[in-house]
A and B are shown apart, each in its own frame.
Chain A
């Protein structure tokens, strides 16, 4: 590209150009030739990079207030959730960015991988770039797994119990590996600091290293370009990375950002009751992107085959793909076997995920106004004479502090209020028939919220 504006460039640009050869550096960064021209199909890599940077920024922000020990982790996350600046829920927003950023990044990594696969862009000479991409996929999933524990709530604790138990099933080295990751036989303070160190120190360094590696290789071998067309026609429609592709990438990043911000505002991440190793009734569920593994593990016997075999097969296929598939044909329309089998795998993952989600116990959706009214009903109807909530109340009935996590339906709860012995024959709980239907509904909402929301604001 001819940087024509030499005379009109500001003195600052000229100063930098003389000292760090700015123009030639920019030229190098922006003048990547793109055979066949700029395309929307190429934006996915930039979108992944953007979410990664967003995770870095918001992650550092979360670390500003996070306390990485079991006796403080939950308190610190609850503190972040209540941080406000003026009328802005900044804490919940930053945590939302990180939470939804992780989910969106997993999706985008998947889409990026699929696009590269369909375009046949992993073929010679781009095998090493593909391999580095597979490593980045593994880093992404490890980051998702380790970040899940850090809020130290019930979901985090029990999800990680199951996750690390799976690692323990690996033959020979499994038990040692599991204890090494947990920092002992049980899940505790050392597990949390191990996961925190992996999540915030090890993985970011590795991410930077392999992303740089990925990009350097990309610039060395160049983009693969469209799968159709001869090199002469691609050359004729050639464009440089700047400006059209840069603009497309920027717009794609803006879309991702708006999506993540919107999700953070509309669906802020929740925080369940603090991890309670004594809670035997909790049924852990994985993050949605591990749902399909969760569902598959229910089907595969012996379990070990699913735990070891499945990831091993996936890793093997991904790693070996460019070395086994030496066919130079790149068009997905002329590679029916590999494309159809990929679609089959994707379809099964989708089906398994849906099946898993359908199998999870649904918690009652909360209406916060009703919860508020229900709390008043709870406090004025004598419930606390027998039931304990957050350390206050009687000991005759069961402690209800985490009742909302059990997953009783609103109907079940309303029946419980007026006719306890229909659920528990011989129950000493008196029938609360004096409650109006509205009060019963509000009370059911409040009881469903216990252990899920309504945490004290510790910022003031």
Chain B
């Protein structure tokens, strides 16, 4: 490996005949070539730029030049034309002690003067920021919409006509009715099997023929307008935590096996932790007794009946 060259600032500089002609002050670095090209020597009158190739000998204590006379003819070093080199640009193989490396300043500041250069720099920085903001906004807006587009997709209400007619149902005895439906998730349509409770009523005078949801006014306008005194349709999902309440015909009660929420036939909660009655679903009965229902799901665990989109 090549010997490391050590420059120590402040050491005396001698000419070829051994006379002291000044002291070593600074080093000048050519960034395009990534090497030190000049040294700056303080002689008796001013700072002078001396080419690096003039150095004959360099130790930690003295620097000897090939040049015989004084440095009078050499160009004067003008500090305003130069700036410090950041440490990460230091060339390999050199060590600079007690001093720093200088390089020519980039041109625009030199040609235009400090204050104007700063305003130009400011202008360019702000323009760059503006361009970046423009691109950013025009990307973030469609991306945000794109991500939210599926979340905002409205579920279309899909009425299903059941395979059972009103007159085929027993009176005052809930029946768990199973039907085929399609679950939609984005581009995928999956056939699913769903269940609802169908409760046919003996007549309008029966107090249990009105669902508890209706009595408490929890229904949405749709559910209010699509209900029948002859039939109550209850969701199979427990409004507590989403288990499935079962009908016990001996006790005439729905009891949820998970946390023992207990409901009467019209969905009224009479015991257990459930926050609201069993959810009534919209229903429509045709003249011939055909039953159409709209399957909805609701948020569980809260006293309000809030439909999941």
Contact = CB atoms under 8 A, between A and B. Distances in A.
Interface in B165-194: 186-188
A225 B31 CA distance: 12
A167 B143 CA distance: 37
15 contacts: A33-B103, A35-B32, A54-B139, A57-B139, A61-B146, A76-B186, A79-B187, A94-B146, A235-B32, A240-B106, A244-B108, A247-B124, A250-B128, A254-B134, A459-B149
B69 interface: no
A278 to B, nearest CB: 23
Nearest to A246: B128
A261 interface: yes
B132 interface: yes
B188 A75 contact: yes
Q: What interface size band does chain B fall in?
A: 35 or more
Interface stretch (A64-72, A345-353, A370-378, A422-430): A64-72
Interface in B64-114: 83-84, 86, 88-89, 103-104, 106-108
B104 A253 contact: no
A2 B83 contact: yes
Given A33-B31, A72-B187, A72-B188, A243 B106 contact: no
A238 B134 contact: no
Contacts of A243: 121, 124-125, 128
Interface of B: 30-34, 83-84, 86, 88-89, 103-104, 106-108, 121, 124-125, 127-128, 131-132, 134-135, 138-139, 142-143, 145-150, 152-154, 156, 186-188
**Chain B residues touching A, majority SS:** helix
A232 B88 CA distance: 22
Given A35-B31, A91-B149, A238-B104, A254 B131 contact: yes
B32 A247 contact: no
A460 B150 contact: no
A459 B153 contact: yes
A257 interface: yes
A338 interface: no
Interface string A8-27: 00000000000000001001
A78 interface: yes
Nearest to A232: B30
A117 B138 CA distance: 34
Which of A31, A76, A250 is the most central at the interface, judged by chain B CB atoms within 10 Å of its CB? A250
Interface stretch (A82-90, A282-290, A310-318, A391-399): A82-90
B107 A85 contact: no
Contacts of A94: 142-143, 146
A261 B142 CA distance: 11
A246 B124 contact: yes
Contacts of A174: none
Contact of A85 (B125, B145, B186): B145
Contacts of A85: 145-146, 148-149, 152
Interface string A228-239: 000110111111
Interface in A253-294: 253-254, 257, 261
Contacts of B89: 33
B32 A61 contact: no
B146 A238 contact: no
Contacts of A254: 131, 134-135
A131 B89 CA distance: 25
Q: What interface size band does chain A fall in?
A: 35 or more
Given A85-B145, A94-B143, 11 more contacts: A27-B86, A64-B147, A83-B150, A90-B142, A222-B32, A231-B30, A231-B32, A232-B30, A243-B124, A246-B124, A247-B124
B140 to A, nearest CB: 10
Nearest to A96: B142
Contacts of B139: 54, 57
Contacts of B86: 24, 27-28, 31
Contacts of B146: 61, 64, 83, 85, 90-91, 93-94
A254 B152 CA distance: 31
Contacts of B33: 231, 235
Contact of A225 (B32, B34, B124): B32
Contacts of A344: none
A238 B187 contact: no
Contacts of A327: none
A458 interface: yes
A251 interface: yes
A45 interface: no
A250 B142 contact: no
Contacts of A79: 186-187
A222 B88 CA distance: 13
Contacts of B103: 33
A86 B148 CA distance: 11
A251 B225 CA distance: 60
Contacts of B34: 222
Contacts of B128: 243, 246-247, 250
Contact of A238 (B32, B127, B150): B32
Given A94-B143, A257-B138, A65 B108 contact: no
A83 B86 CA distance: 52
Which of A57, A76, A243, A261 is the most central at the interface, judged by chain B CB atoms within 10 Å of its CB? A243
Contacts of B125: 243
A188 interface: no
The 7 closest A-B pairs by CB, nearest first: A85-B145, A79-B187, A243-B124, A35-B32, A250-B131, A90-B146, A33-B31
A163 interface: no
